[in-house]
Every structure is written in C-alpha cells, then in structure tokens.
Structure 1
Amino acid sequence: MTPETELEFEELRPLLFSIAYRILGSVSEAEDAVQETWLRLAAAGTQPDSLKAYLSTVVTRISIDVLRSARMRRETYVGPWFPEPLPTDSHGGEREDVYGSPERASELADSVSMAALMLLERLSPLERAVFVLREVFHFGFADIATAVDRSEAACRQLASRARRHMDDGKTRFEADRRKRAELADRFFEALRDGDLDDLRALLAADVETVNDGGGVAGGVGGRFGAEKAARILITAVPPLLAIGARLEQRELNGEPGAILRDADGSVLGTWTLDILDGQIQRIRSVTNPDKLGHLGPVADLKEVLRRRNRHRRER
C-alpha cells in the first residue's frame, strides 16, 4: 500500500464511519467495521480504480453482515433499545468541515437523529444499507448495486420501499436549530436550579421519557405528563449535582442533549431532547454502560445513585 493510499483512506475515514454508524446504530461496531475495511484494503494487494467506491462497498458489506447478527441480539434486549449516542458537535463525531457546508451538515445531522435511527431499525439490512447510501449520501444506483451485490433495478425497488417506510413513521422536529438549542439551555438551567415551575413549562403535556438501560442501569421511563415528569426529574437530578455530578451540554445525534458525568468525570448517561412547537416532546436517555464507553470512562451508576440517596437522607 502506498503512502498516498494511506492518506486517502484517512481522508475517507469519516465517510466510512458515517455509513457504518447509520447502518449499525453502534459507534463501537462502526469503528470495528472501518478497521476491518482498512485491513481488507491492506490485504488486497492491488490499487482499486476508485478508492472511495471500493472502500464504501467493503464497509457496507461488512456492516450488513454485522447488522444481521446484531438484529438477533436486539430481539432479546431488555427494555427499550436506542442506538449508541454519537456526539455531532465541534468536540468530535461528525463535523461540518467534513461535509463542506453547514447546510449539508444539518441534513446529515437530521439523518443520524435518534428518531431517524429508530426508524431505520424497521428496515431489513439490505433496505437499510440502500437507503443510507442513496438518501443520505447520494450514491448512484450503479455504485449501490455493486456495494450490496444486487441489480440496479432491485436497488431501486429496495430504495423505494425503504423510503415509504421512513416517510410513514417520520417524526416532526423544530426546524430552527437555534430555537432548539435555546430551549435546551433553558431546560438544563431549570434542572440545575431545581426550578419545578420553569421545568414544567418547557415540557409538552404528554411528554415521554424513555431510558435505554439494557436491564442493568436505570428504569425504562414512560409517558408521565408534564407535571409528574417534572417532579421526577427534580427529584432525581439536582441531588446528583449536589454530590458533584455535572451536566455537560452537547449535541448528540444532531439533537440538543447532555452527557451526565460523576464527580470524577466518568459517564453516567446521556440525554437527547425531541423538541417541537416550543416544547420538549420526548426525553431519551441512555444509561446502559455497554453503550457509553466511547464517551469516556463509565461510572458505576448504581453506586452513584446510592451516594445520592444517602446524601438526600442526610440533608
């Protein structure tokens, strides 16, 4: 492999990761798929005519194979299943400079939202791969056909079917990203201050809270309504902050959110907010420790909660 090929691979790495993550919904599995793609390139011994087309084909096929086995595991998953949270702000993840313009970055951020990735779970592995390559990354059908080893006609049918499924379940969001960020700032400020009234005013009347704890860390949430959800949040979060935990506001999967860290900076969980019509419609959290390692050292949530409860009793 030439130094020029190695350099071109590194330039294409963000694209390969983005394809793999959208197909798999897992940061760790997407990173493994990109690494396996590198190994196959190194073992190929020949220089492909188009490195981008070759690498996209390889990472797509690897991702489809991994997804087929992952879907069996997800069928027995305990509680709600969410994709692994992906930072999409300037701290890492998918960045605007990779895609050339803020408009393109915004389009790609919407395609990687928790809601979009959950919709992709409805598709077969082939439909999912074709949809990602065509609708998200605008690949031509000739390249898609090569990537998934199907005819162009078959790929067009797969794309059409996948698009219908996605359109049928599409979730509406606040289109103005600045307004979403401002409302998120007010939400997290109210949480930090323990302000029940302000928090309640920001939540939709039928707000839903859903947690992916994998059956090992935290509950599953529910549709509690604004009053009860606000009281649960005020009861749970400010006491955590009182023992040194902190909310690190971040954009996760293209949506406003936060990483909750303990006093040592280890990760307790993540939150993302679905916002529409000036209110928070859904709060998605991930506390399954197996889905948080890419964000830093993972805290023992149960131990931190015990410390929180002890502190609350002693007050």
Structure 2
Amino acid sequence: MSPAEEFEQLRPLLFSIAYRILGSVTEAEDAVQETWLRYDLSPTRPVSLKAFLSATVTRISIDVLRSARVRREEYVGPWFPEPLLSDPYQDPEHSAELADSLSVASLLLLERLSPLERAVFVLREVFAFGFPEIASAVERSEAACRQLAVRARRHMDAGRPRFEADREEREELAGRFFDALKEGRLDALRELLAADVQMVADSGGKAPRRAAGFFGVDQVCGMLDAFLRPFFTIGGVMVPRPVNGRPGAVFRDRDGKVVNTWTLDVLGGRIQAIHAVTNPDKLTHMGPVGDAWALLREAQRARRTVGRPEPAGPVTVQEPVAETDQENRT
C-alpha cells in the first residue's frame, strides 16, 4: 500500500480529532492537509503511522486553536462551532463518546478548556488513546497529561446537564417539533418547548441577527410563526436532519442554497435551546450559500402580504458589518 493510500485510510480519524479540538470544519480540513504534507515530506516512515499522524494533527490543531482564540474573543455576537452533518470516523466501541462529543453543547463546553486540556480530553475521553500516546502528541509528560485530563473532565462534568434525553427520545421529540413547524401548529409547538427555551444565532456580523436572541416560549413561538411561514411561502425549504450528532435542520432557499442550520438541545422532555448558524463563512463547506439579506427582505414583504405579526421581544435586525470591519473582527 502506498503512503497516500495509508494516509487516506486514517483521514477520517484525523479529521475527527481536529474538528473536536477546533470546532471548525474548514480549519480541521486544513490541519489534516498540513499533516499530510509533513508526512509526505518526512524522510523516514514511522513505526506506528496512526500514532504519528494523530500526534501531528493534534499539535497542528493546538497551534491553530491558540491563534483562533484571539479571533473568537473579537467575534461579533455568539460563537458556535461550524455545523457538521456527519462524522466520517466511526468506532462501534466508542460510538456514545463520539456522538456526545459532537454536540454543540459539548463543543461549547470544550471552548472553556485550555488548548492543551482540550486536546488531552479529546484524545483520552473521546478516542481512548493511552497516556503514552497522548504525552507524545502534546509533548508533555504522562504525569502532566493525567493532571490535564482530570482538570478537563472536572470542567466538562460540571457543565453537563445531569439527565440528558436519550437518542430515541430526542429524535421522537424533534420529529414532532418539525412536523408542527411545517404545519404551523403553534399550540403543538408550545407543548414541545421548555418555558425558558432559548433561540440564539451565530451570524458573525455577516447575516441577519435579531438582537441577542429569543428567550422564553412566547418569544420563540412568536418568531417561529412570524418568520417561518413567510420563508416557506417564498419557496424556502427546511430539511430535518442530524447536525452535530443531534436533531437539527438545514434551511435552503428556493434555489437549494443553504442559508441556515439549526440544532436542538433536548432535556426533560422539552426542547431547551435552538442553536442557529447563519454566518455564511461557516456554511460554505455544505455547498453554495444563499443571500440571507435578500431572503430576509423577501420574507418581510411576504409577511406583510399575509398579515403576519412581528414577533414579541427584541427585534432589532443587525445590519451587515462593513467589509473592512468584518476582516478586522474575524
């Protein structure tokens, strides 16, 4: 087998490691490509290719994350990970850990860790690497890695909900939710949403964003009724499908261009949060991206035509950031 073929066999694992460390599809793909270049230029072949490549992509990802953190501190509005529709790496022995670590909630918890803690946690808790391999990957002693793992696990456990819905319950509830959305049944939606439900969008200053978000069942239902009905009227399409290993949906305009993704957090038999990603830069890996501003204007005209009310709560729509400002902030 050629070096390129050997590398391609391990590419899914390398991408999955990098994505969980970085929370970005594009940055993870770049990290994997850089790993290939370093491997291809290496004059010797490692004894364990998996260990060598995993260590290399981990070190690259740590370096990228350190610089990315500065940009994320200056990010416009809430920062969410880039949506991932499917994980290329599968391991039946660790399927639960792999699926849980993909959720938006878990990735946001990982953002609280230092780059080293995050890398150690991902390698140990998600991919079950041994501490000798982890120590080599992060260039620290085994004792230091064990301490990093303990701290990371403590932070992650403290932030996780105590009783999360299982997969079957999540999917059943999400199915009812999306059916009610398509049919415009507000009473059914209210029964599925938690009283303190939150709906927050990551626009990065490059797509419409309504103030800080919508909070509480009245605001969220008002938004869903006021904007989704016109969206469907002008040919928009909602495609329910898993996003980051949780129930979600991809929204496309009439030409099939992606404009938005949702992921749902389910807890206690209710939907607790809806995370939306509208930043076009975070959607490009999914195909052509639509013009969210043009879509919003068309939806607003359609809403006036059908007499839909404005949603309750904060409704100030953020205008596009000037191009020079976008470059400075991202």
TM-score range, shorter chain: over 0.9
> 1:224 Cα shift?
2.3
> 1:174 Cα shift?
3.7
Query: 2:130 aligned with 1:130, yes or no?
Result: no
Aligned length: 305
- The match for 2:46 is 48
In 1, are the aligned partners of 2:165 and 2:269 still within 8 Å (CA)?
no
In 2, are the aligned partners of 1:205 and 1:225 still within 8 Å (CA)?
yes
Alignment of 1:1-315 (within 5 A): 3-88=1-86, 93-94=87-88, 98-99=90-91, 101=92, 104-172=94-162, 174-219=164-209, 220-222=211-213, 224-315=215-306
Q: Secondary structure at the match of 1:206?
A: strand
In 1, are the aligned partners of 2:94 and 2:126 still within 8 Å (CA)?
no
In structure 2, give the amino acid aligned to 1:132. V
How far apart, CA to CA, are the structure 1 residues paired with 2:7 and 2:232? 43
Q: Secondary structure at the match of 1:13?
A: helix
- The match for 2:315 is none
How far apart, CA to CA, are the structure 1 residues paired with 2:255 and 2:181? 20
> 1:47 Cα shift?
1.0
Measured at CA, do residues 186 and 221 of structure 1 come closer, stay the same or move farther in structure 2, by a change above 3 Å?
farther
Task: Structure 2: state its 5+ residue gaps.
Answer: 307-330
Moved more, 181-190 or 12-21: 181-190
* TM-score normalised by L of structure 1: 0.93
In 2, are the aligned partners of 1:134 and 1:159 still within 8 Å (CA)?
yes
In structure 2, give the amino acid aligned to 1:216. K
How far apart, CA to CA, are the structure 2 residues paired with 1:261 and 1:123? 34
Q: Secondary structure at the match of 2:2?
A: helix
> 1:268 Cα shift?
0.7
How far apart, CA to CA, are the structure 2 residues paired with 1:134 and 1:156? 10
Q: Secondary structure at the match of 1:255?
A: coil
How far apart, CA to CA, are the structure 1 residues paired with 2:164 and 2:220? 21
How far apart, CA to CA, are the structure 2 residues paired with 1:221 and 1:75? 17
In structure 2, give the amino acid aligned to 1:112. L
Moved more, 290-299 or 174-183: 174-183
In 1, are the aligned partners of 2:76 and 2:205 still within 8 Å (CA)?
yes
> 1:60 Cα shift?
0.3
Task: Structure 1: state its 5+ residue gaps.
Answer: none
In structure 2, give the amino acid aligned to 1:158. L
In structure 2, give the amino acid aligned to 1:184. A
In 1, are the aligned partners of 2:227 and 2:303 still within 8 Å (CA)?
no
In structure 1, give the amino acid aligned to 2:75. Y
How far apart, CA to CA, are the structure 2 residues paired with 1:172 and 1:13? 34
In structure 1, give the amino acid aligned to 2:54. S
Q: Secondary structure at the match of 2:254?
A: coil
